[in-house]
Amino acid sequence: MSVNQSTTTGATADGVEPAWKRVADEQMRRGAFSRTLPVWGAAVVILMIMPLVFPSAVAVTIMNQMGISIVFALSYNMLLGQGGMLSFGHAVYFGLGGFLSVHVMNSVEYDGWWLPLPLLPLVGGLFGLAFAIPIGGFSTRRAGTVFAMISLGVGELVAACSIIFVAFFGGEEGVSGDRTMGPPVFGFEFLSEVEVYYLTAGVVLVAALFMYLFSRTPAGRMANAVRDNEERAEFVGYSQRYVRFVSFCASGFFAGMAGGLFAINYEILTEENLNLVTSGWVLLMAFIGGVGFFVGPIVGAIVLTLLQTVLSNHTELWQLYVGILFVLTVMYAPRGLTGLVAMHGPALRSGRLGPLVAAYGVALVPLVAFLAGAILLLEMGNVANQSVVGESEAHVFGLSLDVSTAPPWLVAAVLAVGGAYALARLAPRLRDAFGRATGAAGGAP
């Protein structure tokens, strides 16, 4: 049974919990794994029925990509969120695990190795681990800026090596394989995308479960301690370097596992999979989702994969939108999308969410106006800047707008400026409503 007493005895006599007590309680509650069992059960059910809800081939492909991203982003958060290590080279373990998985896949096909496909992510993980051990050996001495710099150096080094060593990395065209050549597992040969989906979903579930359990072990707990105050952690008798090293290796293992999944899904790996762009992308996913929460990177992976696959079909500016989203997150919501939701936890528990939702509802109108105006301006600006002579139609929200005439610009500008002005006027009221709902006196800034 779980430790539940603390929740019932948590509130003090005057009904207001001190902040530290709330945090401690939350930690206690989160600490009990059995309490999270319903969540894991729900995850299993959702993963099972997803292909039935979204049966189209495109949707299954997108969901497979999400699965890979989820494992990769969760492994990244073992470094950044749980260990306080900002890495700019995490794609190294993802990519190397993936490349070696493809080579193993080819050995299964040509050299007669015996390996059922579902075990391939494990192989990728072991290769990721094999690279994380020596690199972690020298790079985990310090956290912060030094660690970030070393990870950047290692990332650039491996990316540059991938162009030099053609025999292993396949040069420009990469290395490809065939996943269907292994021994069939219970009759499955993984010919169809749906079969691959269920394999991916299973691996995602197992990997996420183990990463969650890792964060509950003393090693995971000490990683938090070292992140928050490395000096005190040393006083308790732990070597900060060793604690970081353990997290780093575990993280490398799961990144390699994600690489193995990538190999199964796409059957090809290229230099792109281990360069700085991929390393930056995983930072974006984890951070936008929220590095302070276990589910944060999962949210980030889902949202950014959707943006990458769906939004990119509609606009060539999608990376600009992602960049703006990222910078705004860093500046105004450093706890990520999950943090924005979690912020409302106290209001929900105290039953005061209603008035806050009403206030949000009022703000929604100018927000939508502002976003619509801003997007229109950007899209029309893009057409006006880039397009060839004679082509002056911008296609946004299913509308065709002629950017050579003034009215569309005027409407967009009015929407954007008006929305922004109304939002700025509403901001103090929203802050008040939030303060009242969460019980903070005078409205928290």
Partner 1 sequence: MTELVIFSLLNGLVTGLLLFMLSSGLTLIFSMMGVLNFAHASFYMLGAYFAYTISTYVGFWPGLVIAPLLVGVAGALVERYGLRHVHRHGHVAELIFTFGLAFLIEEIVQFFWGKATKDYSAPEILQFPLFTLYGQNFPAYKAFMILISVGIFIGLFTVLSRSRVGLIIQAAITHPHTVSNLGHNVPLVFMGVFGVGSALAGLAGVIAGPALGTFPGMAFVLGSIVFVVIVVGGLGSLAGAFVASLLIGWLQTFAIALDWSVNDLLALLGVSFDADHALRDLWTLSLPQVAPILPYILLILILIFRPTGLMGKRET
Phi then psi for residue 260, to 5 deg, are: -60, -40
165 belongs to the binding site for partner 1 (CB under 8 A): yes
Out of 71, 100, 104, 150, the only residue in the binding site for partner 1 (CB under 8 A) is 150
Q: Considering only residues 52, 331, 389, 406, which one is a binding residue for partner 1 as defined by CB under 8 A?
A: 331
Minimum separation from the CB atom of position 400 to partner 1 (A): 21
Closest to partner 1 by CB, 83 or 121: 83
What residue type is assigned to position 212 of the chain? Y
CB of 269 to partner 1, least distance (A): 17
Contact 324, 369 (CB under 8 A): no
Region binding partner 1 by CB under 8 A among candidate stretches 10-18, 320-328, 361-369, 409-417:
320-328
Q: Which segment (157-165, 187-195, 248-256, 421-429) binds partner 1 by CB under 8 A?
A: 157-165
Q: Tell whether residue 146 is a contact of partner 1 (CB under 8 A).
A: yes
- Specify whether the CB–CB gap between 247 and 219 falls below 8 A: yes
Residue 340 in the binding site for partner 1 (CB under 8 A)? no
When asked if residue 290 is in the footprint of partner 1 (CB under 8 A), the reply is: no
- Of 276, 295, 363, 417, which lies in the binding site for partner 1, with binding defined by CB under 8 A? 276
Question: Quick one: 35 exposed, middle or buried, by C-beta within 10 A (0-12, 13-18, 19+)?
Answer: middle
Among 80-88, 215-223, 391-399, 430-438, which window interacts with partner 1 (CB under 8 A)?
80-88
If binding means CB under 8 A, how many residues of this protein chain bind partner 1?
Answer: 44
The pair of structure tokens assigned to 67 is: 């699965």
Contacts of 46 (CB under 8 A, 6+ apart): none
Q: Tell which residue, 42, 43, 39, has the closest CA to residue 201.
A: 43
- If one asks whether residue 342 binds partner 1 (CB under 8 A), the answer comes out as no
Which backbone phi and psi does 377 adopt, to 5 degrees? -60, -45
Which string of DSSP letters, residue by residue, matches 385-438? Answer: HHSPTT--EEEETTEEEETTSHHHHHHHHHHHHHHHHHHHHHHHHHHHHHHHHH
Here's the x/- map for partner 1, 378-407, by CB under 8 A: it reads as x--xx--xx---------------------
Give me the residues paired with residue 175 across strands: 269
348 binds partner 1 (CB under 8 A): no
CA distance 285 to 415: 30
Q: Determine if 86 is a binding residue for partner 1 (CB under 8 A).
A: yes
**Residue span binding partner 1 (CB under 8 A) among the ranges 35-43, 149-157, 254-262, 358-366:** 149-157
The one segment of 50-58, 139-147, 179-187, 240-248 that binds partner 1 by CB under 8 A: 139-147
CA 404 centroid distance within chain = 40
Identify the CA nearest to 80 among candidates 70, 90, 92, 69: 90
- Cβ proximity to partner 1: between 62 and 383 the closer is 383
**Residue 188 DSSP class:** B
Strands 268-269 and 175-176: antiparallel
- Residues near partner 1 (CB under 8 A) are 84, 86, 88, 138, 142, 144-146, 148-150, 152-154, 156-157, 160-161, 163-168, 276, 280, 283-284, 287, 317, 319-320, 323-324, 326-327, 330-331, 334, 378, 381-382, 385-386
